[in-house]
Amino acid sequence: MFKKILVANRGEIALRVIRTCKEMGIKTVAVYSKADEESLHVRFADEAVCIGPAPSSESYLKISNIISAAEITNADAIHPGYGFLSENAKFSKICEEHDIKFIGASAEMIEKMGDKATAKATMNEAGVPCVPGSEGIIEDFEECKKLALEVGYPVMLKASAGGGGKGMRAVWNEEDLEEAWNSARQESKAAFGNDDMYMEKLIEEPRHIEIQIVGDSSGKACHLSERDCSIQRRHQKLTEETPSPFMTKKLRNDMGMAAVKAAEYIKYEGAGTVEFLVDKNRNFYFMEMNTRIQVEHPITEQVIDFDLIREQILVAAGVPISGKHYTPNLHSIECRINAEDPYNNFRPSPGRITTLHAPGGHGVRLDTHVYAGYVIPPNYDSMIAKLITTAQTRDEAINKMKRALDEFVIEGVKTTIPFHRQLMDHPDYVAGNYTTAFMDDWEMMEPEED
């Protein structure tokens, strides 16, 4: 077992990893930028190394500084969390070359799943349902035009180096195809330095339902049920829940088995997530595979009473997985609390938190690194807390979330707490009747006068 793990991340996920390491008797090293000197993960870790100035490119993304921190502290493993270098094949490779265990996917696996067209072709070979479309990358516009006629409009053009919607265009008819083709490739080139495109039949108003999987070094994989992440704004998830209100026993089994087949076909090691699009007739299609722990992992932990970070560490240390599949026997909802103003187009609101009262009580979990007096730096992602409620039924979990949000006081900065509180009263949300289009026409109701 590892003696010392360096956590190459910040904020709530750094705290999350440090907590499990402490419970496992593993020493921890925090890395931090100048802007994070006062951050909680620095205080919770056994050791802390400043790896550079505030800009991520000079600190949390600076591979040489992170490897140096691991060398001088003699860390035998690195946990990358999510974001930053968590899906960076070069970083995974460099860790391996320095004999530091990367608690994540191998460089080869990251590359294979990171190239979306290749990932899809691999899943097709594995017999995992995929959206009908191009066999890999589209060579040129002539092929694009021909393909679109074969697939049938509407189609979705997607960037192979992409993900999260960048370089993606929905095209409803042939006259719009060329402009979409050119602008999507331009956007992909700018964002990823690569303009390879592929095409799929457009799935209208899909749900985004993902399956948590864990694979071990023997090539065995198991699934830990689903998470419904359909409520997103500009491809940023806002809230997630498990089980999905759209799920049926059959759909869960079929999707779970497809995700296991995908993981075992590629001999996936570690925690991973297979993302699916689900249409209104409950047909599901492979969308992407993420080779990292995800922000929303706590709702899965809550409904099956499982520590996913512990599982990642055990698998990385060569411990075989139990192999059993899980079905949720509770209901859990996560609300991502961001330092953003929901009354002003969710614009970021960094600054000092002057007052903070955390919600608590039965079935309430708060994963956060902030505290009264903490200054939220403007340099990083605006998420400051994840509020998770868990109960026997969805209605009770919603009720608990309302009560917890009403208790949650953060002053000094604007937050998305009011958005989530209104969401919990929205009839379509309460009815579980929502797709990825839910936020398209969201209007905040004005705050009541005090």
* Residues within the interface to ligand MV4 (CB under 6 A): 131, 156, 164-165, 168, 200-203, 206, 208, 232, 235, 277, 287-288, 436
- Give the pairing of strands 284-290 and 236-237: unpaired
Name all contacts of 116-123 with Cβ < 8 Å and 24+ positions apart.
116/158, 116/159, 116/160, 116/161, 116/162, 116/163, 116/198, 116/288, 117/160, 117/196, 117/198, 118/160, 119/288, 119/289, 120/198, 120/286, 122/265, 122/266, 123/262, 123/265, 123/286, 123/289
Shortest reach from residue 48's CB to ligand MV4, in Å? 35
What burial letters (b/e) apply to 78-105, b meaning 16+ CB within 10 Å? Answer: bbbbbbbbbbbbebbbbbeeeebbbbbb
Q: Which is nearer to ligand MV4, 157 or 370 (CB)?
A: 157
Cα-Cα end-to-end distance for the chain: 55
Q: Which is nearer to ligand MV4, 169 or 414 (CB)?
A: 169
Residues catalogued as catalytic: 292
What is the Cα–Cα distance from 385 to 383, expressed in whole angstroms?
Answer: 6
Q: Which is nearer to ligand MV4, 49 or 168 (CB)?
A: 168
Q: Which is nearer to ligand MV4, 11 or 206 (CB)?
A: 206
Q: Which is nearer to ligand MV4, 183 or 329 (CB)?
A: 183
Shortest reach from residue 390's CB to ligand MV4, in Å? 24
With beta carbons less than 8 A apart as the criterion, state whether 359 and 407 touch: yes
Shortest reach from residue 199's CB to ligand MV4, in Å? 9
Shortest reach from residue 151's CB to ligand MV4, in Å? 10
207, two tokens: 């749900």
Nearest alpha carbon to residue 292 among 55, 69, 8: 8
Nearest alpha carbon to residue 29 among 13, 15, 46: 46
Q: Which is nearer to ligand MV4, 196 or 200 (CB)?
A: 200
C-alpha angle 107-110-112 in degrees, rounded to nearest 5: 105
What DSSP string runs through 77-106?
EEE--SSTTTT-HHHHHHHHHTT-EESS--
